[in-house]
Amino acid sequence: MDEPVFRVAVVGSTGYGGGELVRLLARHPGVRIEALGARGRDDEPIGQSHPHLAGTGYRVSDELPGELDAVFVSLPHGAASETVAELAKRLVVIDLGPDFRLRDPADYPRWYGFEHPRPDLLDHSVYGLPELHREELGRLGRHGIVASPGCYATATLLALAPLAGAGLIADVVVDAKSGVSGAGREARAQFLFGEVNESVRAYGVGGHRHVAEMEQELGRLAPAPLGPIDFLPHLIPMTRGILAACHVRPTRPTSQAELDDLYRAFFASERFVELAPEPPATKHVLGSNFARVHVHADDRTGRVLVLSAIDNLVKGAAGQAVQAFNVVFGLPEESGLEQLPLSP
Amino acid sequence: MDEPVFRVAVVGSTGYGGGELVRLLARHPGVRIEALGARGRDDEPIGQSHPHLAGTGYRVSDELPGELDAVFVSLPHGAASETVAELAKRLVVIDLGPDFRLRDPADYPRWYGFEHPRPDLLDHSVYGLPELHREELGRLGRHGIVASPGCYATATLLALAPLAGAGLIADVVVDAKSGVSGAGREARAQFLFGEVNESVRAYGVGGHRHVAEMEQELGRLAPAPLGPIDFLPHLIPMTRGILAACHVRPTRPTSQAELDDLYRAFFASERFVELAPEPPATKHVLGSNFARVHVHADDRTGRVLVLSAIDNLVKGAAGQAVQAFNVVFGLPEESGLEQLPLSP
Amino acid sequence: MDEPVFRVAVVGSTGYGGGELVRLLARHPGVRIEALGARGRDDEPIGQSHPHLAGTGYRVSDELPGELDAVFVSLPHGAASETVAELAKRLVVIDLGPDFRLRDPADYPRWYGFEHPRPDLLDHSVYGLPELHREELGRLGRHGIVASPGCYATATLLALAPLAGAGLIADVVVDAKSGVSGAGREARAQFLFGEVNESVRAYGVGGHRHVAEMEQELGRLAPAPLGPIDFLPHLIPMTRGILAACHVRPTRPTSQAELDDLYRAFFASERFVELAPEPPATKHVLGSNFARVHVHADDRTGRVLVLSAIDNLVKGAAGQAVQAFNVVFGLPEESGLEQLPLSP
Amino acid sequence: MDEPVFRVAVVGSTGYGGGELVRLLARHPGVRIEALGARGRDDEPIGQSHPHLAGTGYRVSDELPGELDAVFVSLPHGAASETVAELAKRLVVIDLGPDFRLRDPADYPRWYGFEHPRPDLLDHSVYGLPELHREELGRLGRHGIVASPGCYATATLLALAPLAGAGLIADVVVDAKSGVSGAGREARAQFLFGEVNESVRAYGVGGHRHVAEMEQELGRLAPAPLGPIDFLPHLIPMTRGILAACHVRPTRPTSQAELDDLYRAFFASERFVELAPEPPATKHVLGSNFARVHVHADDRTGRVLVLSAIDNLVKGAAGQAVQAFNVVFGLPEESGLEQLPLSP
């Protein structure tokens, strides 16, 4: 291997997102893990919080070392702004939380309930969806903020970006289904096995926070203003995976052939987006960084249906963060992300 | 008990729908099970096909006895038309299949791929959703056909009937999630545990058959013609339950207060429809004949969201059939259907 | 109905055991629910804690009314001793916790880590497994304590009682598998869906508390002292159900025929124990008060294998408590317990 | 990479074992996949049978090419004997089925119900558990048969080999729990999601076939003859994973310290066996080639409990086959097997 090796750390390594970052980075040939941060747990074996990673031999610690090229931050929203801002002065921060995803400071009180402490930085961070922002990522340099997208936003944006770019979205209903790992690892009664198993329910009725990202990014692509997105997420009895069903009323009649051409062209050189000839199952991307997208022109209703499946913890979180990191540091985009999906 | 006791049989008792009929009818105080039909299995204990029912002591048989008041028929589509037509001359047939649900004979080749052998009977059968056709069921008498609704159609119609009746539906996307028991008990690789678990996928893209029922029944209620319904079902990793999310673009602006009044009035005297103050979970109706409906006016998008949860094998199949039977025979509507949901 | 109606209350109604008691008692023809206790929640609709029971219209409250015939107590161990002792002076207490199951006061510090506050009452309470203590339950009268058995103990005792009574147990390994509802409803990270799903693990290695009950009750039946039971429970990814596999080294060679006779005789008049010709699945008793027991003489190893399946929340908790209540009050033993299992 | 690259094929690539072989071999740096065999499917994209592998671009075919170094055979028992025997004349065959695992030809009619067609080869094949037969594997050369162990046998042998070798097993009960993928991918009603979910059951009562392997291999290690193993497998509602609980009555009293030393010494240089300080969960090895073993001296019962967790499709099948292949061909034992477990 002649690839350079960059020194990285993970802040917030004991949650699900953090564990997934360790799983991927530990096998990344261009990376050396220098530290795994975990508040208040100094020098504890990683196996205490992540038994599946015990074999890696890593230990978590309360502090970050001085010499790093990049830090992955996986903390709850609001908790990271200050830390990220400080770190970003001297190294690349890939923030898996929402604190730097939105460009308009007014969106923070509206969607997240807090005033952003550093609105000046919002314009300087890059929304870390490589399929939409590869060039900006490549230009970031050796310090700055990558705001890694939310899981629902990732699935939805990959489904709708070609249509938005072509000015084909008159109106869209996004009905998404997620495994429960998206809710994190905090002990809450509603996420107990006994409550989740053999059940499905919608939540976030009236406005899930990821809508803000979707509207921002699709709006950026669309030639004319888009109306509000009707987004409804569901919790289903599985651990990993998101399937987004996007029901689009097009601005003009279209055809399967036009859609196929549009999507093929849009994703032609994408390593991690697979156009699926059949409606995709989340199991077919499990544990991998792939997204599977299926587009269908429905002659009966005149609508366009786009289905998009990802693993919420990989392409929807840790994998995407690593992919963006690779772009920023000029590594092959698939470094550390070559695992094939695990099925059955 | 002074309730009369009616003699019933189940045709197709070895499938999931059939087993569920036995579970309910065996404890129905107004019913005596005279026969459980199963092609080619004569005098076999029910425990062979349904171990959970072994304790009932019933046996399945290849033939129906002569003296019956009603027959429940749970057979694949197309298989039952002739049998049902013949039996309906002398007794009440509650058909859980689709063969007599649609009024327009042209719908059968279109949606089900067969010419209906008895189009003359379509106008004489009653669509067995008591919440919409209670009076016709009550007038049926002692012979005739009750066409018990499909599971998806039940969830959707209970969600949308008030809006349709009020002329409020301009356009609707129905995005539904179902447990796998709806696919029946036939051994098919795609329904193996290893394929279904930890996965979600859409199917029936471009037109699931239950759309025909939905459009027929909502069209009947609506003051003006409705456009095609965009209906998309999903298979999720659970055994029982359907959740339908109905995203409605209303014909005019409405409000939460108006919707609450509308739904309360529509379902005021319904024993099996519960208006839920929170988005319902399918687990909260598991094993019961209840439907839970939640309506939400979304100020941000201008849409109305209606969520509806049922147990697909009870309110979506066997329970609904028993409910219709009760109405036809003048029994209390909840006879045999008083089980509370099983949770967790 | 000419059955008398007894006035009951549930203390600890918001947990899983409590919810299950409400589900059963609400449909019990010989019972009127007078109060559902829940500390610190006065006059709250039951649907807040148990959405599936919202339709019953009950409300929980912080206090018990004065006029009651029986109280069902479903509280964590140690929490109930004083309450139970006080209530038992004037009415029948069916305690679903372990505080009065063990006869030897020394067992409490040993297995549960607390000194029993009322060792004088241990000899006066009845171990509420009707299959073993029906006569004592029938003699209890109108006040006193029924100590309802633990879920693992129930499955194991029903499996092994015939062998113990016949002096056939030289040595036994009990390897049990349980759904996660047995762990209760408290939010703990290890019982999150993401941790439990797609995984199995043993726990309580070196001594689960239910061993004490098993040894006490089997010891009582056996003609000679039994050695310690090797009991190992497992948590498996399901919500309800316990399967106990009891691997017995017999004191002398036996045969399938002898075992069949022994078990048939032992359970001949038991309403809720079914001898299964095939290894039972927990699904086949789901939601019901049935236990399924299968006994097998293994010629190759010389061992006897007994498998026993129950629903841990019904025959392993609430259903068994209701069954014992029925015996105490002279009601038909199956009153309120006639639900058939729910499958699939 | 200076590693040599060997040319391999997979026979039986469309089942679960076959898919898993492709997943691992496709990323193995010392391997080039020359052919993926599938009877009757010529030149079909792998995505038809394994949608999750669509991105690899492989195609399945009906024939094997001439130039190969090794073939992995994943076929039902009995189906492979002739093929394997023929191929083994000129290349290395790693047979994932049982046809060459047993040394005594009489075991085939007894346990598998067929006379072995090539008893002469049984002594020349190597039982492919590297932890027990590393040297023989290393001496195999460039043609011959590796009989890859059964999944239950792998979990059990890794748990018990140290005790057997030390002459410490007087008697053992092995109670194992498996995910349903072990049953393969053939459509059978008993493995439908609706039958498996929310249920657990024992099967193979009276003698599962893997017992033969266990007794053969433990007998080989033990200084004195071992009695028959009491082995009981269970099907639990998960897709992957086996947990074996081995309840051992030791030949003499032992201690935790002695056991810890014994196990540490035995597995000191094993790359894929991790000694776990806590009872292992199958989720903590999911998708990886690791086995986790936990040993416990139970002072109360005098027994030794050993728990062993593997992924049945990796260390219990495809991963183990690749590991053995690596040993045979002198590659680093972890080549192609470096994936970390996937959790949650």
Q: What is the DSSP letter of B281?
A: B
pLDDT (0 to 100) of residue D2: 62
Query: Mean of the per-residue pLDDT values for chain D?
Result: 96
Cα C112 to Cα C213: distance, rounded to the nearest angstrom: 12
Q: How confident is the model at residue A1 (pLDDT cuts 50, 70, 90)?
A: very low
pLDDT (tens digit, 9 = 90+) per residue, C114-135? 899 999 999 899 999 999 999 9
Burial of D270 (0-12, 13-18, 19+ CB in 10 A): middle
Determine whether the interchain pair C206/D300 forms a contact, defined as Cβ–Cβ distance below 8 Å: yes
CA dihedral over D56, D62, D67, D68, signed as positive or negative: positive
3-class SS of residue B235: strand
Out of C151, C221, C243, C307, the active site residue is: C151
* Contacting residues of D for A283, CB less than 8 Å apart: 52
Chains touching chain C, criterion 3+ CB pairs below 8 Å: A, B, D
CA A186 to chain CA centroid, nearest Å? 20
Closest CA to D236 of D203, D269, D189: D203
Q: Give the ranges where chain A is alpha helix by DSSP (H).
A: 16-25, 46-49, 81-87, 107, 130-138, 151-165, 193-196, 210-221, 256-266, 319-328
Determine whether the interchain pair D16/B194 forms a contact, defined as Cβ–Cβ distance below 8 Å: yes
Cα C117 to Cα D177: distance, rounded to the nearest angstrom: 41
Question: CA-CA distances (angstroms) from residue B251 to A230, B163, B167, B171, B264?
Answer: 17, 10, 7, 8, 20
Closest CA to A308 of A175, A148, A166, A130: A175
pLDDT (tens digit, 9 = 90+) per residue, C166-204? 999 999 999 999 999 999 999 999 999 999 999 999 999
Asked if C105 and C119 touch (Cβ cutoff 8 Å), the reply is: yes
pLDDT (tens digit, 9 = 90+) per residue, A214-260? 999 999 999 999 999 999 999 999 999 999 999 999 999 999 999 99
- Bridge-partner residues for B333, per DSSP? none
Q: How confident is the model at residue A201 (pLDDT cuts 50, 70, 90)?
A: very high
Residue of D nearest to A285 (CA): D52
Q: How confident is the model at residue B206 (pLDDT cuts 50, 70, 90)?
A: confident
D1 pLDDT higher than 50: no
A5-15 mean pLDDT = 96
Q: Any residues with CB less than 8 A from the CB of D89 and at least 6 apart, and which?
A: D143
Closest CA to C88 of C129, C142, C127: C142
Top-confidence residue, D123 or C164: C164
Chains touching chain D, criterion 3+ CB pairs below 8 Å: A, B, C
What is the C-alpha end-to-end distance of chain D, expressed in Å? 33
Cα B327 to Cα B319: distance, rounded to the nearest angstrom: 12
Crossing angle of helices B319-328 and B130-138, rounded to 10°? 30
Q: What is the DSSP letter of A54?
A: G
Cα A209 to Cα C112: distance, rounded to the nearest angstrom: 46
Determine whether the interchain pair B342/C338 forms a contact, defined as Cβ–Cβ distance below 8 Å: no
Query: Mean of the per-residue pLDDT values for chain C?
Result: 96
Cα B183 to Cα B316: distance, rounded to the nearest angstrom: 13
pLDDT (0 to 100) of residue D96: 97
pLDDT (0 to 100) of residue A208: 87
* Contacting residues of C for D247, CB less than 8 Å apart: 173, 175, 230, 232, 247
Please tell me the distance in Å from A311's CA to the nearest CA on chain D: 12
Q: Any residues with CB less than 8 A from the CB of B86 and at least 6 apart, and which?
A: none
Determine whether the interchain pair B194/D187 forms a contact, defined as Cβ–Cβ distance below 8 Å: no
Determine whether the interchain pair B193/D198 forms a contact, defined as Cβ–Cβ distance below 8 Å: no
Determine whether the interchain pair A274/D55 forms a contact, defined as Cβ–Cβ distance below 8 Å: yes
Cα D120 to Cα C51: distance, rounded to the nearest angstrom: 67
Q: Any residues with CB less than 8 A from the CB of A86 and at least 6 apart, and which?
A: none
Q: How confident is the model at residue C147 (pLDDT cuts 50, 70, 90)?
A: very high
Out of A21, A121, A151, A286, the active site residue is: A151
Determine whether the interchain pair C236/D238 forms a contact, defined as Cβ–Cβ distance below 8 Å: yes
pLDDT (0 to 100) of residue D80: 83
Determine whether the interchain pair D234/C245 forms a contact, defined as Cβ–Cβ distance below 8 Å: yes
Out of D11, D24, D140, D151, the active site residue is: D151
pLDDT (0 to 100) of residue B1: 47
Please tell me the distance in Å from B49's CA to the nearest CA on chain D: 11
pLDDT (tens digit, 9 = 90+) per residue, D60-73? 999 888 899 999 99
Determine whether the interchain pair A340/D55 forms a contact, defined as Cβ–Cβ distance below 8 Å: yes
Cα D182 to Cα D174: distance, rounded to the nearest angstrom: 17
pLDDT (0 to 100) of residue A2: 63
Cα C42 to Cα C54: distance, rounded to the nearest angstrom: 16
* Contacting residues of C for D241, CB less than 8 Å apart: 198-200
Out of B53, B151, B243, B244, the active site residue is: B151
Collect all residues from B whose CB is shorter than 8 A from any CB in C. Answer: 16, 19, 23, 26-27, 50-56, 181, 185, 197-198, 239-240, 274, 276, 278, 280-281, 283-288, 290, 338-344
- Bridge-partner residues for D255, per DSSP? none
Determine whether the interchain pair B187/D188 forms a contact, defined as Cβ–Cβ distance below 8 Å: yes
Cα A119 to Cα A106: distance, rounded to the nearest angstrom: 9
Query: Mean of the per-residue pLDDT values for chain A?
Result: 96
* Contacting residues of C for B199, CB less than 8 Å apart: none
Crossing angle of helices A130-138 and A319-328, rounded to 10°? 30
Collect all residues from A whose CB is shorter than 8 A from any CB in D. Answer: 16, 19, 23, 26-27, 50-56, 181, 185, 197-198, 239-240, 274, 276, 278, 280-281, 283-288, 290, 338-344
Pairing of strands C242-250, C304-310: antiparallel
Instruction: Find the CB nearest D238 among C194, C199, C307.
Output: C199
Q: Give the ranges where B44-126 is alpha helix by DSSP (H).
A: 46-49, 81-87, 107
Determine whether the interchain pair B180/D189 forms a contact, defined as Cβ–Cβ distance below 8 Å: no
Please tell me the distance in Å from B172's CA to the nearest CA on chain C: 28
Residue type, C21: L
D54-59 mean pLDDT = 96
Cα A105 to Cα A99: distance, rounded to the nearest angstrom: 10
Instruction: Find the CB nearest C191 among A186, A192, A237.
Output: A192
* Contacting residues of D for A338, CB less than 8 Å apart: 27
Question: CA-CA distances (angstroms) from residue D329 to C305, D129, D317?
Answer: 45, 15, 18
Instruction: Find the CB nearest B56 among C16, C54, C340.
Output: C340
* Contacting residues of D for A287, CB less than 8 Å apart: 287, 342
B246 is a catalytic site residue:
no
Burial track D189-200 (b if 16+ CB lie within 10 A, e otherwise): eebbbbbbbbbb
Asked if the interface predicted TM-score (ipTM) of this complex is over 0.90, the answer is yes
Burial track C230-248 (b if 16+ CB lie within 10 A, e otherwise): bbbbbbbbbbbbbbbbbbb
Closest CA to B155 of B136, B179, B134, B139: B179
Cα D278 to Cα D221: distance, rounded to the nearest angstrom: 27
C53 pLDDT higher than 60: yes
pLDDT (0 to 100) of residue A66: 84
Cα A311 to Cα C206: distance, rounded to the nearest angstrom: 39
Top-confidence residue, A285 or B41: A285
Cα B337 to Cα A186: distance, rounded to the nearest angstrom: 39
Q: Which two tokens stand for residue D203?
A: 């099967």
A74-80 mean pLDDT = 83
Place of tokens 């130039």: D67
Cα D188 to Cα C234: distance, rounded to the nearest angstrom: 27
Instruction: Find the CB nearest B180 among D185, D193, D238.
Output: D193
Closest CA to B217 of B260, B293, B163: B163
Asked if A143 and A71 touch (Cβ cutoff 8 Å), the reply is: no
Place of tokens 């997620």: A178
